[in-house]
Structure 1
Amino acid sequence: MRPQSHCLCPLIPDLENHTRVLILQHPDEVRHALNTARLAALGLANVELRVGEHFPELEAELAGREAWLLFPGEQALCVGELVATATPAERLLIVPDGTWRKARRILHCNPWLAQLPRLSLGEGLVSRYRLRKAPGPGALSTLEAIVHCLNTLEGAGRFDALLRPFEALIDAQIAAMGEETYRRNHLGETPAD
Structure 2
Amino acid sequence: MSSNNTPPRARCNRCVRPLVSCLCELIPLLDSRTRILLLQHPSETDHALNTARLAALGLVNAELLIGEKFPSLSQSLTQPGYQACLLFPGEAAQPVHQHLNHAETTPLLLVVLDGTWRKARKLLHVNPLLAALPRVVLPAGLQSRYRVRKTPAPGMVSTLEAIVCALNLLEAPRNFEALLLPFEVLIDQQIAAMGEQTYLRNYHPD
User: Which contiguous aligned blocks of 4+ residues in structure 1 show a shift greater than 3 angstroms?
Assistant: 84-90
Q: Secondary structure at the match of 1:48?
A: strand
1:98-148 deviations in Å (ceiling 9; x for gaps): 111111111011122112110110112111101111121211100000000
Aligned to 1:154: 171
The higher-RCO structure (CA 8 Å, 6+ apart) is 1
Aligned to 1:55: 70
Q: 1:24 aligns with which of 25, 34, 39?
A: 39
Give yes or no for the alignment of 1:179 onto 2:199. Answer: no
**Structure 1 residues 85 and 143, CA gap change in structure 2 (3 angstroms):** same
**Which one-letter code corresponds to 1:178 in the other structure?**
G
TM-score, with length taken from structure 1: 0.91
Gaps of 5+ in 2: 1-15
TM-score, with length taken from structure 2: 0.86
Q: Aligned-pair distance for 1:62?
A: 2.6
**Structure 1 residues 43 and 185, CA gap change in structure 2 (3 angstroms):** same
2:146 and 2:169 map into 1 onto residues whose CA distance is: 20
Q: Secondary structure at the match of 1:95?
A: strand
Q: Aligned-pair distance for 1:91?
A: 1.5
1:163 and 1:61 map into 2 onto residues whose CA distance is: 26
Q: Secondary structure at the match of 2:145?
A: coil
Counting matched residue pairs gives 189
Q: Secondary structure at the match of 1:56?
A: coil
Q: Secondary structure at the match of 2:72?
A: helix
Q: For residues 1-193 of structure 1, what are the structure 2 equivalents within 5 Å?
A: 1-63=16-78, 66-83=83-100, 90-156=107-173, 158-189=175-206
Contact persistence 2:36–2:109 (CA under 8 A): yes
**Structure 1 residues 156 and 186, CA gap change in structure 2 (3 angstroms):** farther
Q: Aligned-pair distance for 1:60?
A: 4.9
**Which one-letter code corresponds to 1:48 in the other structure?**
E
Instruction: Report the aligned-residue RMSD.
Output: 1.8
Contact persistence 2:42–2:68 (CA under 8 A): yes
Gaps of 5+ in 1: none
Contact persistence 2:102–2:171 (CA under 8 A): no
